[in-house]
A and B are shown apart, each in its own frame.
Chain A
Amino acid sequence: MNHYEVLAPELVLLGLAFALVTLELLFPQLRKDLVAYLTAASAIGVLVASAFFANRSDSFKDLIQLDNYTTFFRILFLGTAALLAIASAHLVRDKLSNAGEYYGLLLLGVIGATYMAAASELLTAYIALELLNFTLYVLVSFDRKDPRSGEAGLKYILLSAFASALLLFGISFIFGVTGTTSYAGIRHALEAGIGEYRGTLVVGLVLLLTGLGFKVAAVPFHMWTPDAYEGAPLPVTAYISIVAKAAGFALFLRLFSQAFMPVISDWRWMVALLAALTMVFGNLIALQQVNIKRLLAYSSISQVGYMLIAIAALSHDSATALLLHLGGYAITNLAAFIAIIAFYNATGGEEIRDFRGLAERHAGLAMTLTIALFSLAGMPLFAGFMTKFILFQAAAQHGLLWLSAFGVVTSMISLYYYLMVIRQMYVLKPRDGDGRLRVPLLTSAVLVVLALGIFFVGIWPTPLFRAAASATRLLF
């Protein structure tokens, strides 16, 4: 049996992606926002269909693993893509060309991201990673009229290609030591003992961590992030910060828990160090940002620091906490970015000072953005507090209290820069001539749902926690 049905959701998605591109070729007069809604509808369709894979465990030639872990991330990515497609509708119609390709690439990226979570073999994981990266290269430089977009794309390609090379180099070391690229095989080889090759293994791990560190933007490998975030069209920024980041961690988590668990003492300190550096520098540099996209770039870097804690404290507890945190992070960031997109569509501003007096110009938008920022800062009752808290306590339970303490202190620092945005919106008066803003009905509805979602996860995370726990059970 070849179990081709394991590949079904992604094959359907691939077909839909091409269909969207063709659709625009065939009917160039088609309204561009209609394409966005079609994309959202197809993503949601596949999402609902893939929910039927829940609690099924299967694999395709030991390359692609289907289990609850894969399903969890598939649903996360598809949901994000659907909402971002809706959020892109007006922006793409008004400011960008080639809408069909844009939405096609959006779906194509989801395939890469899902396979990053599903891969159980190093080269498959690498190819999935590259698939996602290639769609991102194009998407980042999609705004042809804005030179920043092209610049960001170029920087991203160069650094990312460099990281890919390191990653491949690392993979070759691992292969050299263990003689296999499958996660289970690596684990067997490591459990059997590798004797004199331990030094080679550590070099391979360092290279692997460097490559992955680049992809998820951990300090000191984060340099591409602020530029890419700032140059990319806003929905693409959101896409990178949610889908690409979560996919990076999906790969990270499955690889390290399924393959490298036996040698945890060799890499734990490296990850812990990365986490500490990332939290400290991400938060400190964020303090001085004036552009909202760059601010969110650094804020997302600091979030990576918190997520790395979970990898350093690798266990079923912390893996569950990581998935929970990723879920809450996705909802929160979606709310923040969609609010900012709505603001950008209405005013064209993306500096923090442009948000002056937003509370009086559009109370709902200001409220949603505030909720999202508080959640990112980890204020109680919001998703960010609960998920971060469970993450920190999981780490503390597994002997990394010092790292949790780092996390707590730095996330308190982060409150300051989020508060400065809120200050602009609530404390300061609007500039003269700034009138009330209009936000499309559908966007408002999406924002309300996301804001409620933030509270839901913040107050009663049990359902999401159960899902995360069942998703990670098979990893250990």
Chain B
Amino acid sequence: MKIWIKSGTVVDPVKGTSKKSDVIIERGKVAEILPPGVFKGERGKFREIDASGKLIVPGLVDMHTHLREPGYEYKETVATGGMAGVAGGFTALACMPNTMPPNDCRSVTEFILEQAKRADRCRIYPVAAITVGQKGERLTEFGDLKEAGAVALSDDGWPVTSSELMRRALEYAHYHGMAIISHSEDRSLSEGGAMHEGSVSTRIGLPGIPAASEEIMVYRDICLARLTGCPVHIAHVSTAGSVELIRRAKEEGLSVTAETAPHYFSMDHRAVVGYDTRTKVNPPLRTPEDVEAIKAGLAEGVIDAIATDHAPHSSLEKDLEFERAAFGMIGLETALPLTLELVRGKTLSLPDAIKKLTWNPASILGVPGGSLTIGSVADLAIIDPECEYVLREEDIQSKSKNSPFIGKALKGRNDLTIVGGRIVWERKT
């Protein structure tokens, strides 16, 4: 079925424009982008979608998702995570390797891709482990993993503690053209911590994770990028100090890229008061000053991408004492409204905000997508930027419901998602 999207505002993150247009989709591709009223299609031959007042954007690309399959299917699967993704406007998800077993070999990568084919919802790009078993001891077979379909490498959840091993990983991954995504954390400083170390942790008596535990490893990774001349991507940046280190690295001309997650610019450590385990995340929610620095880093282009770090956990991991609860919150279905908040708050222009959710992460991963031009694959989302609602648990598509934004008022929502020219999600009104 051909699709005719009428009178929406097409956001082109690459050109930095937003223009009122009709979009015609044929044979899985964007056939035309025209000013409204120009296209005269034959009635009945098109699925017509009225997009007036809405945004038409390239499908969002999440470069940092946890789909939990294989091994933790009770938290999320490729199918349920994919559904959560398309509900949130994502058409591609890069899934982290901390599954059980971890994605450290061809068979696991192929299994994930097989499950993605079965689910047939959105594009899934497996991120494989840097080290066997994510143990930080020896490298996985990068070449074989790439052939199997892995797009990048990360020991996410665990830092690569050995600087020597990280150096060799950067060098070897560069040879294979794969991005290394670094989970930058000095565990000797963060071990036992449950939230950001600061005035709030002192007040409510929770063991702290200092900002330095992140910054030390960010700096190490920058030094290794300088030493090797190879690119490194810093995952989930949460502190002002990390932003400053990455800013200087970029000024120096090093190939360092970075992402942050929506919760790091939407919430701060005061949200933990009351011991709500849904606010427990690693790195932890930081101070209001850090939140401002993250926003500034996004505005100045120091932080290239917004990734969800979607981390589904069931009540088994979350209905516990705060210190015993698992780290992580889901994010696929809230990333869009939280990012649009940055546009409303004048931190980012609309095309820039969309770019950080599309073109930039796709470029860092080296995967297609992230733009909306004639001839490109029709992966796109239609967003209602003005829709105001209170997030309800029953509306969440993810198998897990561990979001501190449940019950909060949000603005902006994905209405319809198209992957490869096929409508894979349509919000029932």
* Same complex: no
Could you list which residues of chain A lie within 8 angstroms of chain B, going by C-beta atoms? none
